[in-house]
């Protein structure tokens, strides 16, 4: 019997036994759909993170206090914060030819109040250049200037969420809010920036660095953002920062992270996550495969008389083997295609929330897995079926 006849035969058998075929394909469909969907979610997360980092600009270096390890084995810094304003200022004075900007950052949690309303929010003290270099703009009013900073003016710019929560329908610009019970005048409301990993970044209040320093009385900065002339000078800039910091600090007192380093370590965490998601999906595919093999085994028992009859009228063992094998392959390819389609649609549906993408390798993985599972779990029962003695099969009750 040639392959075309075998395929026709298998297709007929599939059509005649609809329920069995659907159940078999279902195992594959669920497995492949979950592989494609979970991988697309993982990819979406990576895309999202890379995108967020790109917004910050690729030519940034972060200086953090203590020894920070980023990556799967990372943990919180143990040592106390030794990066003071003096150090940040020295770095600014000795920034050399490759660094364009040194931007220390103070960050803390405060309670903001206005006319009896109050809300816990994140306070960030930054230089006025922060807005331009991060591409953040005011939707109402204005952002603070360098002069506000040098004069330590008690002005703030607030995020959209905070504005809505405190002021309801009132106009925030020109009003005075209380931060840690001290009055500050609102000069602007920021354009909405949305969510980042479940954290509302529109719930924040920004003020000039020197103002923030006065408010907190702190002598340390939470981080220093260093911008370089271009991505090419990254290594030279990093060496410069290191040189200046090492003059007063030891290696354990600070960590220098480049944009790339941060991104690649976060992406590596995400790729582990994607693999884990894929692994879960693979398990469901194997479970589906076991289901297929079960149904195939049951169907062999069910169809033993059929096999006996086919043999009685002249089917050779290899004809029976071929039919069962092709049945398994057709069902798994069919299930694989439907599974990929469902995975795609699911990924499309999610793309409203996350920039999901289905990479080619996920599709290939899905196809490869489903056909492997189909063939492996199709072979065992098919071999069993082909070996049955015609008489034994015919007499089967």
Partner 1 sequence: MKALIDAQNISKIYGEDSNRTVALDGLNLRINKGEFVAIIGPSGSGKSTLMHILGCLDRPTSGKYFLEGKLVSNLGENELARIRNEQIGFVFQAFNLLPRTKSIKNVELPLIYSKVKQGERETRARLMLEAVGLSDKLNSLPSQLSGGQMQRVAIARALVNKPLVIFADEPTGNLDSKASQEIIEIFKKLNREGRTIVMITHEKEVAGKAKRIIAIRDGKIVSDRRVK
**Is residue 55 at the binding interface for partner 1, with CB under 8 A as the rule?**
no
Task: Report the nearest approach of partner 1 to the CB of residue 389 (Å).
Answer: 8
User: How far is the C-alpha of 40 from the C-alpha of 343, rounded, in Å?
Assistant: 8
User: How far is the C-alpha of 339 from the C-alpha of 374, rounded, in Å?
Assistant: 14
The secondary structure element, H or E, covering residue 369 is helix 360-387
| Binding span for partner 1 by CB under 8 A among 179-187, 194-202, 328-336, 385-393 | 385-393
User: How far is the C-alpha of 35 from the C-alpha of 372, rounded, in Å?
Assistant: 15
End-to-end CA distance of the chain: 29
Task: Report the nearest approach of partner 1 to the CB of residue 330 (Å).
Answer: 17
- How many residues touch partner 1 under the rule CB under 8 A: the total is 26
**Is residue 200 at the binding interface for partner 1, with CB under 8 A as the rule?**
no
**Is residue 297 at the binding interface for partner 1, with CB under 8 A as the rule?**
no
Each as own residue / partner, the long-range contacts of residues 345-352 (CB below 8 Å, 24 or more positions apart, any chain) are 346/33, 346/36, 346/37, 346/40, 347/36, 347/37, 347/40, 347/41, 347/44, 350/37, 350/40, 350/41, 350/44, 351/44
User: How far is the C-alpha of 334 from the C-alpha of 340, rounded, in Å?
Assistant: 10
101, 200, 260, 319: residue in contact with partner 1 (rule CB under 8 A): 319
Q: Between 9 and 123, whose beta carbon lies closer to partner 1?
A: 9
In this structure, what DSSP letter does residue 220 have?
Answer: B
Other residues' Cβ atoms within 10 Å of the Cβ of residue 395: 11
Beta pairing class for 60-65 and 254-258: antiparallel
**Is residue 390 at the binding interface for partner 1, with CB under 8 A as the rule?**
yes
**Is residue 317 at the binding interface for partner 1, with CB under 8 A as the rule?**
yes
Alpha-carbon dihedral of residues 27, 31, 37, 43, nearest 10 degrees?
A: -170
State which of positions 3-22 bind partner 1 (CB under 8 A): 5, 8-9, 12, 16-17
**Is residue 388 at the binding interface for partner 1, with CB under 8 A as the rule?**
no
Q: Between 206 and 326, whose beta carbon lies closer to partner 1?
A: 326
Judge contact between 117 and 172, C-beta under 8 A: no
- Contact pattern from residue 250 through residue 289 relative to partner 1, giving x for each residue in contact according to CB under 8 A and a dash for the rest: ----------------------------------------
22, 276, 298, 312: residue in contact with partner 1 (rule CB under 8 A): 312
Q: Between 317 and 359, whose beta carbon lies closer to partner 1?
A: 317
Task: Report the nearest approach of partner 1 to the CB of residue 295 (Å).
Answer: 17
**Is residue 75 at the binding interface for partner 1, with CB under 8 A as the rule?**
no
| Binding span for partner 1 by CB under 8 A among 55-63, 87-95, 184-192, 305-313 | 305-313
Q: What are phi and psi of 113, to 5 degrees?
A: -130, 145
80, 198, 247, 313: residue in contact with partner 1 (rule CB under 8 A): 313
What does the angle CA 234 – CA 240 – CA 243 come to, to the nearest 5 degrees?
140
Sites of contact with partner 1 (CB under 8 A): 1-2, 5, 8-9, 12, 16-17, 305-306, 308-319, 389-391, 394
């Amino acid at each position: 019997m040639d392959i075309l006849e075998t395929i026709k035969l298998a297709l007929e058998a599939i059509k005649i036994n609809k329920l069995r075929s659907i159940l078999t394909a279902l195992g594959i469909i669920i497995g492949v759909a979950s592989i494609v969907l979970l991988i697309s979610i993982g990819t979406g997360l990576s895309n999202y993170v890379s995108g967020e980092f790109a917004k910050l600009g690729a030519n940034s270096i972060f200086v953090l206090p203590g020894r920070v390890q980023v990556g799967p084995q990372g943990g919180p810094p143990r040592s106390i914060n030794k990066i003071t304003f003096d150090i940040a200022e020295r770095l600014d004075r000795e920034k050399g030819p490759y660094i364009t900007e040194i931007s220390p950052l103070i960050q803390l949690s405060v309670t903001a109040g206005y006319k009896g309303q109050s809300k816990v929010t994140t306070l960030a003290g930054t230089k006025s250049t922060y807005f331009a270099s991060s591409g953040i703009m005011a939707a109402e009013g204005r952002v603070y200037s360098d002069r506000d900073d040098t004069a330590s003016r008690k002005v703030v710019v607030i995020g959209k969420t905070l504005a809505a929560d405190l002021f309801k329908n009132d106009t925030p610009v020109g009003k005075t809010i209380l931060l840690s019970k001290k009055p500050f005048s609102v000069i602007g409301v920021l354009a909405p920036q949305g969510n980042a990993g479940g954290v509302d970044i529109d719930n924040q209040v920004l003020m000039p660095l020197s103002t923030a320093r006065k408010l907190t009385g702190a002598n340390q900065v939470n981080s220093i953002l260093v911008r370089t002339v271009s991505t090419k000078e990254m290594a030279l800039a990093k060496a410069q920062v290191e040189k200046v910091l090492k003059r007063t600090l030891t290696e354990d007192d600070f960590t220098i992270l480049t944009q790339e380093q941060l991104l690649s370590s976060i992406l590596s965490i995400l790729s582990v996550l994607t693999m884990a998601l894929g692994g879960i999906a693979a398990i469901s595919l194997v479970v589906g495969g076991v289901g297929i093999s079960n149904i195939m085994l049951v169907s062999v028992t069910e169809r033993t008389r059929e096999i006996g009859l086919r043999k009685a009228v002249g089917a050779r063992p290899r004809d029976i083997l071929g039919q069962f094998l092709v049945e398994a392959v057709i069902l798994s390819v069919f299930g694989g295609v439907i599974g990929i389609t469902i995975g795609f649609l699911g990924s499309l549906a999610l793309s409203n929330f996350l920039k999901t993408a289905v990479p080619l390798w996920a599709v290939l993985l899905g196809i490869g897995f489903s056909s492997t599972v189909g063939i492996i779990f199709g072979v065992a029962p098919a071999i069993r079926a082909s070996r049955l003695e015609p008489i034994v099969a015919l007499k089967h009750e």
